[in-house]
Amino acid sequence: MLDAEWGKESRDVADALEDAKAADVTARIWRRDASLWSENHAVQRAIANRLGWLDAAGWARRHLDQLSAFAASSSGAPVGLLGMGGSSLAPEVVSKVFDRPLTVLDSTDPSEVRAAEASLPLRDARFIVASKSGETIETRSHAAYFLERTGAPERFAAITDPGSALEALATEKGIGSTFLNPADIGGRYSALSYFGLVPSAAIGVAVEPLLDAAQQAMELCRDPEGPGLVLGVGLAELADEGRDKVTFVASAGLEAFGAWAEQLLAESTGKLGVGLIPVDGEPLGTPAAYDDDRVFVHLRLAGSDEHSAAMAALREEGHPVVTIDVPSREALGAQFFLWEFATAAAGWRLGINPFDEPNVSESKQNTARLIEAYERDGAIPGPDPVAEEDGVLLYEPVETESVTEALDALFGYFHRDRYVALQAFLPRLPSVERSLREIRTSIRDARRFATTVGFGPRYLHSTGQLHKGGPDTGLFIQITAEHTDDVPIPGRPYTFGVLQAAQAAGDYEALASRGRRILRLHLTQGVEAGLPVIARMIRSALPR
């Protein structure tokens, strides 16, 4: 399943694995020994209520009848999934790997709300509302919108924890089906529970083979030297040695997996100034394009050799390469469990609690305060722009008269451990993704910086924790844009566009208050026209 070549750090990784054996890490994870991650008794109690993922596959097998019945009731109807982060990423991966249509709405961008509505015939589409707490503002807003648009709550299903606000809402609104997930399974560890499986079943994917594969991985990970322990401890040790950029390279058909793994790694390990920095979707370059802060994870589908030569070249240059063979699409279930176990093991080696997210609430609280101000004053409070250039506005904390000059100063923070995070509060459309990919490539090729892209507010539920709680090595560029066709939120005095603007401003405040290096660029002339301008400015700011 796993072939790891750790490069120059092989001896260090071997020593770390010996430490893990001596500490009985594998057995203690399976015993649900929370003292593995903290000596604080209150923290241990909280961790103990987040370890249900260890047997989620076994639990799910006992509920296959409910999943099959729900799949049958869906009758091939189009399915819309309304959920954020761990409530939507696993089903999105399943839908893409198995090439089954699923409309996932995990954005407050008005263009994406309208695109989701356009893709779902409101007369017969099924909607799944997924939220562990039931209090996620994005998901509640999406549910309100589509419940009003359809007027058919019987075609909705809810996935949530027992006693949550969403369970109460489902009862109040007469939602057709409610699936109550075990409360001891955290959101980002929920791929093999109702959160991952109900939407997958609804779009016609057979979930039992996924669970079979997951249980095979479970057995492998019971070995004191199993693949989950090796992967997690190895990645954590490399991070301690400065190779903390976990760069995913996947065979065609598996590319979507990186987005799920990104959330799991970033939100679980990015705290207390340490963390694994997942790099997903960055175009593959030659060995010369990378600094010595990388480790490459090659997800190789059976029969594929499309990246084999590139991986060999990287190994030849001394870069660590972990190759994970995925024998079939159904083996995706094994990957979900493997990475959950590895993340738990990495948390032990990093000395952090991989089951909390202590910094996520900062942006949420800022957003709530800004929304209250909007409701009171009719505007979101914030600073005036400090510069304007070709339709791009620049906001503080920098003092400059030129956007390009500010970018030049940002990229001037040159250290080998830096990474650039593009935070795009823009619609997640193919044209936008292509433009951001071109920007990433130009930054990497000029500076050898690792790059990440997060669409807001989607990334707030994944890499947002890492940005604020992880290593202070990020260079952040937040990109926002004017909304020309906004969408109202039923029952609220604000729109989706206002909510997205408040979320962007709230996260900007959270990062700036921590002294993170961040620029906010606002496109006044639309996304399609504005992104090429930013790309040109970035190229001008980078060395030739």
Backbone angles phi, psi at 395, to 5 degrees: -110, 160
**DSSP of 379-429:** S---PPPSEEETTEEEETT---S-HHHHHHHHHT---TT-EEEEEE-S---
**DSSP of 125-136:** -EEEEE-SSS--
Residue 176's pLDDT band (boundaries 50, 70, 90)?
Answer: very high
Q: Residue 204 is encoded by which pair of tokens? A: 């016609």
Average pLDDT over residues 32-37: 98
Residue 398's pLDDT band (boundaries 50, 70, 90)?
Answer: low
- 77-203 CATH: 3.40.50.10490
What burial class does residue 83 get, using C-beta atoms within 10 Å of its C-beta: 0-12 exposed, 13-18 middle, 19+ buried?
buried
Tell me, what's the pLDDT at 414? Answer: 64
Tens digits of residue pLDDT in 449-477: 999 999 999 999 999 999 999 999 999 99
- 360-541 CATH: 3.40.50.10490
Q: How many residues does the chain have?
A: 544
Tell me, what's the pLDDT at 472? Answer: 96
Average pLDDT over residues 490-500: 97
Q: Where in the chain is the domain with CATH 3.40.50.10490?
A: 2-28+222-329+344-350, 77-203, 360-541
When the pLDDT of each residue in the chain is averaged and rounded to a whole number, the result is 95
Average pLDDT over residues 130-134: 96
Which helix (H) or strand (E) segment holds residue 511: the answer is helix 496-513
Higher pLDDT, 405 or 544: 405
Residue 203's pLDDT band (boundaries 50, 70, 90)?
Answer: very high
Q: Whole-angstrom Cα distance, residue 439 to residue 242?
A: 25
pTM of the model as a whole = 0.97
Class of the 2-28+222-329+344-350 domain?
Answer: alpha beta
Location of structure tokens 């903290």: 38
Tell me, what's the pLDDT at 544? Answer: 57
